[in-house]
Amino acid sequence: MDRAPMTDDQNEGPQLVPRPVDAAVAAEWRTFFSGGGVFSLPAATEVNRRKRARNTVFLTVLLLLAVAAVAVAGVLLATGSGRALTYALLAVLLIVTVVATARIAGIRRALNAVRDSPQEYIAVSRDGMRFAGIEFPWTAIVGGLIIDERGAQYSGLKRLTAKIMLSAGHPQVEMLLGVREGTVRDHRAHAPGAVGRVFFVSMGSGGPRIPLQHAIDDDSINALATAARVSAADADVPIIVSRDPAVIHPTIMAIWRGKRPTAGKESNE
């Protein structure tokens, strides 16, 4: 097989589902990889540019709000015309602004990582993955997690927050890889530019948190995830798909401590 298989009939809609890869689809990918195939995807540079521009707008507005809140509080204190309720409301506004700024600045790090990646953003082969030019052979990986929030339903304030974060560039699909204990700094040392800032490092363990949405073409996300799951499964490396916090949290704790994940594990055969 010369071309990578793009079929992925295991999904009911755009989002990935946490169940085994369809056997026929998995067989196509195995044939592709056994022939030396590499599924390589470029960075979506134009999408990234637009998202970074919007992110800048949000950060600028939040900075102006914070400055305004401090300025108004200063004037009220100087003139003695403020009331307790007014100060409380200004304090709440300042706290919300600071928290939102931190969240959006975190999104900015992921967007900058895509910007600083080489032309080939991510690739999957029989032997492992390559992200931003950094090699991650399966022998160096203890496990992975794909978080897919596409199609998630929220209500009230959480719905508004999710819309703002998405507009600011939050990727609804991410892949987390955990490398073997004591090796994460070696991998991060090869990261170009801002790519190193998407690595989590703690006590010598950790790995990259790889944004997929807004980083590669949307139509290629599911194929990339399926290719990674099939190749990893053949190397006995579990890659879990989930949006359930009860699965996500223990999985992250395991892989970023250099341990094999078990929560929510499903076969990819």
pLDDT digits (tens, 9 = 90+) for 77-101: 778 776 778 878 888 888 988 999 9
Over the chain, what is the mean pLDDT? 87
pLDDT digits (tens, 9 = 90+) for 166-206: 889 999 999 999 999 889 999 999 999 999 999 998 877 89
Distance from the first to the final alpha carbon of the chain: 20
Res 8: pLDDT: 54
Q: Tell me the three state secondary structure of residue 238.
A: coil
pLDDT digits (tens, 9 = 90+) for 213-256: 999 999 999 999 999 999 999 999 999 998 888 899 999 989 88
- Give the predicted TM-score (pTM) of the model: 0.84
Of 182, 179, 176, 217, nearest to 198 by C-alpha is 176
Q: Do the beta carbons of residue 192 and residue 116 sit within 8 Å? A: yes
Say which residue the tokens 């990646």 belong to.
117
Q: Do the beta carbons of residue 173 and residue 149 sit within 8 Å? A: yes
In whole angstroms, give the CA distance from residue 243 to residue 26. Answer: 22
Q: Do the beta carbons of residue 198 and residue 122 sit within 8 Å? A: no
In whole angstroms, give the CA distance from residue 45 to residue 167. Answer: 17
Res 155: pLDDT: 76
Q: Is the pLDDT of residue 11 over 60?
A: no
Give the other-Cβ count within 10 Å of 92's Cβ: 11
Give the other-Cβ count within 10 Å of 231's Cβ: 25
Residue range of the domain that includes 265: 1-269
- Could you tell me the two tokens for 196? 């190193």
Give the other-Cβ count within 10 Å of 258's Cβ: 20
Q: Identify any residues that bridge with 134 across adjacent strands, giving them in sequence order.
A: 131
In whole angstroms, give the CA distance from residue 231 to residue 60. Answer: 43
Q: Do the beta carbons of residue 201 and residue 184 sit within 8 Å? A: yes
For the CA atoms of the chain, what is the radius of gyration? 21
What is the mean predicted confidence (pLDDT) over 105-120?
A: 95
Res 76: pLDDT: 81
Say which residue the tokens 């470029």 belong to.
42
**Number of structural domains the chain divides into:** 1
Higher pLDDT, residue 12 or 73: 73
From residue 70, alpha-carbon distances to 64, 99, 102, 131 in Å are 10, 15, 18, 42
Of 99, 98, 74, 73, nearest to 86 by C-alpha is 73
Give the other-Cβ count within 10 Å of 228's Cβ: 25
Q: Do the beta carbons of residue 3 and residue 38 sit within 8 Å? A: no
- Could you tell me the two tokens for 94? 């300042």
What does the DSSP 8-state code read for residue 43? -
- Could you tell me the two tokens for 82? 């403020």
Q: What are phi and psi of 215, to 5 degrees?
A: -115, -40
